[in-house]
A and B are shown apart, each in its own frame.
Chain A
Amino acid sequence: MFRIVGFNTIQETLKALLPFNASNLLLEEIVMQSSFIQFHGVGECLFKKGDSPLGFYFILHGKAEILIPGTESIKLVSGQMGGLDAFLEEEKLLFDVISCSPHLESIFIDRRCYEFIIKQAPFKKFIDQSLLRYVGAYRQLLVPPQSMFL
């Protein structure tokens, strides 16, 4: 179905997802510097294993997952970021990241945009928290299942 996505739509969605009160000026700058990317189908690729991390995705709407072979995948929902760990480490993507909802909307934040947002203290805290959530999710996968102890 035909849809129209404008600057304000992206800005309002972003504002609603952030856990702090970001000024409109700041949000405008982020929308200007990031790129709006949408995915129309389950299984579409956000990143493929081995891609260079020139940026990361901030999910505005829909779900994505990090596919880790031989174990459970890590689910990403609105307000979370895909590819952030590889981007910060400046290392190639270790796993595929795919969409797992029929419609996914995101903004792609490249290094120039990241360097701008990281200067804002609440954003820096938000990125740090997101990274910690990543670490937590990976650590969860390393914990042996309870059945092993039974």
Chain B
Amino acid sequence: MTFIISLKDKLNRKPLETPHHCQMCLSHQKSTFSDLSNDAKDELSRLKTCVSFRKGQVIIHEGARPQGVYCIHNGKVKLYTMGTEGKEQIIRFITNGELIGYRSLLSDEPISASATALEDTFACYIPKSSFFKVIEENPKFSLKLLKMSCHELGEAGKMITSLAQKNVKERLAEILLILRATFGEDEEGYLNISLTREEIANMVGTATESVIRLISELKKEGYISSKGKRIAVADRGALQQIANIFE
């Protein structure tokens, strides 16, 4: 079964409409599955389930053993672990076309980080049997997964170094740059993601009060601007200097 989708059909579809077939998905080009053959996409589409999540709803919990992966069709998701005293440490964000849960499926271990929708999110749940069949039959896809896994390992290493060696202001500047690179900016130049100060603090790894103080400090210095929860990067170069990031 192969679907031929015209560009017109794709443009006519609302972004949140549930895709019955991976070929029809608007996030398809960004997706990990983009290079797969039509047969492989048929296999993925055959058993998948579309699950919708409300803003703030938990998608997956640390410690569970889901026997499949989630591919985000539309939405923004935070990945975090629970520290002692129930404090969240945000590890990273997931957006359209990215996968959740593939590493625990490959390693046959429980999920190591929880995921919560930051806005109304649609995801496709692909069962283990379809996912593994596609891996076995598509060496290029397996290599892509390996690359993704290695990349995430590298990013985790960078995060450990950042948490261990950088001060809070340096980490905050780095996080703001990461958020800008991941989600981009809206028409007014604000980051295209709405995070509470607590969530930013959970990503930086500090107290909410410190983040509030440092955001107003960066604002006074003219490096960022803010309006309610929204933040805009005004001087990227200066933030890079503060964060000790060299391009």
A in complex with B: yes
**Interface residue ranges, A against B (CB under 8 Å):** 1-7, 31-41, 44-48, 51-55, 57, 108, 110-113
Q: Is the CB of B49 within 8 A of A38?
A: yes
Q: Which residues of A contact B54 (CB under 8 A)?
A: 7, 32
Q: Is the CB of A37 within 8 A of B51?
A: no
Q: Is the CB of B18 within 8 A of A38?
A: no
Q: Is the CB of A40 within 8 A of B67?
A: yes
Q: Is the CB of A2 within 8 A of B65?
A: no
Q: Which residues of B contact A32 (CB under 8 A)?
A: 54, 56-58
Is B86's beta carbon under 8 Å from chain A? yes
| Contact residues of A: prevailing secondary structure | mixed
Is B48's beta carbon under 8 Å from chain A? yes
User: Which of these, B20, B60, B114, B128, contacts A37 with CB under 8 Å?
Assistant: B60
Is B218's beta carbon under 8 Å from chain A? no
User: Which of these, A1, A5, A39, A52, contacts B52 with CB under 8 Å?
Assistant: A5
Q: Is the CB of A54 within 8 A of B52?
A: no
Q: How large is the interface on B (under 10, 10 to 19, 20 to 34, 35 or more residues)?
A: 20 to 34
Q: Is the CB of A36 within 8 A of B51?
A: yes
CB-defined interface of B105-133 with A at 8 Å, one 1/0 digit per residue? 00000100010000000000101110000
Is B45's beta carbon under 8 Å from chain A? yes
Q: Is the CB of B52 within 8 A of A40?
A: no
Cα A32 to Cα B54 in complex, Å, equals 8
Distance from A126 Cβ to chain B, minimum over Cβ atoms (Å) = 20
Q: Which residues of B contact A45 (CB under 8 A)?
A: 65, 67
User: Which of these, A2, A31, A44, A113, contacts B48 with CB under 8 Å?
Assistant: A2
Is B64's beta carbon under 8 Å from chain A? yes
Q: Is the CB of A5 within 8 A of B61?
A: no
User: Which of these, B20, B58, B65, B82, contacts A47 with CB under 8 Å?
Assistant: B65
Is B245's beta carbon under 8 Å from chain A? no
Q: Which residue of A lies closest to B127 (CB)?
A: A40
Q: Is the CB of B62 within 8 A of A54?
A: yes
Q: Which residues of A contact B66 (CB under 8 A)?
A: 37-38
Cα A127 to Cα B58 in complex, Å, equals 21
User: Which of these, A1, A38, A46, A110, contacts B125 with CB under 8 Å?
Assistant: A38
Knowing A32-B56, A38-B68, the reply to whether A110 touches B51 (Cβ < 8 A) is no
Q: Is the CB of B63 within 8 A of A55?
A: yes
Q: Is the CB of B127 within 8 A of A54?
A: no
Q: Which residue of B lies closest to A41 (CB)?
A: B129
Cα A46 to Cα B49 in complex, Å, equals 19
Q: Which residues of A contact B94 (CB under 8 A)?
A: none
Q: Is the CB of A35 within 8 A of B61?
A: yes
Q: Which residues of A contact B63 (CB under 8 A)?
A: 51-55, 108, 110
Is B53's beta carbon under 8 Å from chain A? yes
Cα A112 to Cα B59 in complex, Å, equals 14
Cα A32 to Cα B116 in complex, Å, equals 9
Distance from B109 Cβ to chain A, minimum over Cβ atoms (Å) = 9
User: Which of these, A34, A44, A112, contacts B67 with CB under 8 Å?
Assistant: A44
User: Which of these, B49, B52, B61, contacts A110 with CB under 8 Å?
Assistant: B61
CB-defined interface of B172-206 with A at 8 Å, one 1/0 digit per residue? 00000000000000000000000000000000000
